[in-house]
Structures are given as structure tokens and as C-alpha cells.
Amino acid sequence: MANKFSSWFEGKKCFPLALPLDVTLYKEGKPNVVQPDLLVICDQENIKEDDTYMGTPTLVVEILSEKTRSRDLIKKLDLYMQSGVEEYWIVNPFAEEITVYWFKEREIENSTTFKKGERAASFVFPGLGIDVNAVFG
């Protein structure tokens, strides 16, 4: 998935990062440090030398696991929405689907769940998409 994102963003202002990177997001004025599986940032000047990122990613991708499922579906969804992230992709290997949330003014503006045979598509970056079959084989 990271390779597909990298190819699509090549030569564009924004770019994806798939390496472990601490991201500090603020919800109700309180800092929360997370390490998303993949993020797209448009403000690279906010990456610090100690591999922390002090900006707000435009798009965040989390891949569910047994251990992180409820945190990713509930707590992180709320954190990302409240902190100003514009789009959140949840990759669910248990159901073999990808849900894309579009946040606007710290509310869910729209969401769509894509299943095998479909192409998950971005609300924020028109043209960015990935075949669900390619993600789950």
C-alpha cells in the first residue's frame, strides 16, 4: 500500500511516510502521541531531526490488528477527527475492507467502506485510490 501511495504522490507537494514516526496531535489542547502505519503530510517543515512530526497530517492510514482494533476504530478515529486530520483510512484485514473517513470542521463529512472487487478512493486527493484486492490478495 505504501508503494502505491508513493507512486501516486511522486512529484506532488504532499508525500506519504510509512516509517515509524511519532506524531503529536492535540485534542482539546492536550497532546497525544501516535505512530500511524502510514501518513500523508503536506507540511514537511514540521518533521524534526529526532524523527518526530509536529504538524497535522492530511491523511492517516491505520491497519487493524487484534491488539489495536478498538483503539484504531474508536479512540484514534476521534483523535484524528478532533485534531484536524482531513482523511482517515482504516484497513481491516479481518473483514478484508477499507473504510475511508473524510473529516470537515472536526466532524465526519462522509465515509465509504470499500470491499474486495472495489477501488478505495480518497475524498481529499481526487484520483488517489487503491484496489482492495491488491491490499488483501
The answer on pLDDT for 49 being more than 90 is no
Q: pTM (2 decimals)?
A: 0.94
The answer on pLDDT for 11 being more than 80 is yes
Q: What does the pLDDT read at residue 99?
A: 98
- CATH number assigned to the domain comprising residue 51: 3.90.1570.10
Q: Where is 4: in which H helix or E strand?
A: helix 2-9
Its domain, for residue 86, covers: 2-136
Domain count, the chain: 1
Q: Tell me what percent of the chain is helix, strand and coil, each rounded to the nearest 5.
A: 25, 40, 35
- Please write the tens of the pLDDT for every residue from 107-117: 999 999 999 99
Instruction: Supply the mean pLDDT for the chain.
Output: 94
